[in-house]
């Protein structure tokens, strides 16, 4: 009887241990991190005051001025230059967008250099002759603006009106997806502006640089 009692006790003890215990597995863990910061995008544009040259103008004349575009950020940027001029007619109390083609703008670099590698600014245009500047961080460019007061559009309704001669500079990250989203252009749409004739053989240095900068993925 003693032997039987001992076996029963041992079986009971094993059952209790199996139900009430948990396993302790081998485990290991590790982690690491990378710190990064976002760059800044910024653009500034200032036009010289027209002074007396902006008084009592008439159709057929031109409005000439100069301005400075600056990339104030830490990132490459693509800057689109647009005509955003407005007009307040003689008997009106508010400004409205000026009729299309009433003022025809021509924008050029003041130093005459479209591929200005020293300044870090390259000029491009699209099929509609909209102008874009690819600007390196902290770069700036002096530009000349000539606005032709188009007599084929300007009529008697313009007499005595006040015009807000406004050039808008809109900047976006120099990345292809950003340009497509904000401006509706891809890299193939942008044509380099050059002081020299553009050869059909191969890709130009300016266009290659455009692809290198704006085609970045990381």
pLDDT at residue 4 in the model: 46
Residue 54: pLDDT over 80: no
The pTM of the full predicted model, rounded to 2 decimals, is 0.80
| Residue 39 in tokens | 């760059």
Instruction: For residue 150, give the nearest of 101, 192, 105 by alpha carbon.
Output: 101
Q: For 100-147, how does the pLDDT look when each residue is reduced to its tens digit (9 = 90+)?
A: 889 888 999 999 999 999 999 999 999 999 999 999 999 999 999 998
Q: For 147-195, how does the pLDDT look when each residue is reduced to its tens digit (9 = 90+)?
A: 899 999 999 999 999 888 888 899 999 999 999 999 999 999 999 998 7
pLDDT at residue 142 in the model: 95
Residue 202: pLDDT over 70: no
Backbone angles phi, psi at 158, to 5 degrees: -85, -15
Give me the sign of the Cα torsion angle 173, 178, 182, 187: positive
pLDDT at residue 137 in the model: 94
Report residue 55's pLDDT band, with 50, 70 and 90 as the boundaries: low
More confident residue, 16 or 99: 99
Task: Encode 34-44: b = buried (16+ Cβ within 10 Å), e = exposed.
Answer: eeeeeeebebe
pLDDT at residue 21 in the model: 62
- Residue 133, C-beta contacts closer than 8 angstroms, at least 6 positions apart: 69, 78, 79, 81, 121, 122, 123, 124, 141
Give dist(CA 172, CA 165) in Å, integer.
Answer: 23
| Residue 187 in tokens | 């890299």
């Amino acid at each position: 009887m003693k032997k039987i009692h001992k076996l029963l006790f041992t079986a009971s003890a094993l059952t209790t241990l199996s139900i009430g215990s948990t396993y302790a597995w081998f485990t290991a863990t590790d982690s690491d991190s990378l710190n990064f910061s976002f760059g800044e995008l910024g653009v500034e544009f200032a036009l010289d005051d027209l002074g007396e040259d902006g008084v009592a103008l008439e159709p057929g004349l031109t409005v000439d001025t100069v301005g400075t575009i600056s990339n104030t950020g830490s990132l490459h940027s693509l800057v689109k230059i647009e005509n955003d001029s407005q007009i307040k007619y003689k008997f009106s109390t508010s400004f409205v967008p000026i009729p299309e083609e009433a003022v025809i703008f021509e924008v050029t670099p003041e130093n005459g250099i479209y591929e200005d590698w020293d300044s870090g600014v390259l000029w491009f245009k699209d099929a509609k002759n909209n102008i874009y500047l690819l600007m390196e961080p902290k770069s700036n460019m002096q530009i000349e603006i000539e606005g032709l007061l188009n007599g084929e559009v300007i009529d008697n309704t313009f007499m005595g009106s006040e015009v807000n001669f406004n050039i808008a500079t809109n900047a976006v990250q120099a990345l292809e997806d950003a340009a497509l989203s904000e401006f509706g252009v891809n890299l193939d749409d942008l044509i380099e502006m050059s002081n020299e004739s553009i050869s059909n053989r191969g890709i130009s240095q300016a266009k290659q640089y455009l692809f290198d900068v704006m085609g970045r993925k990381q």
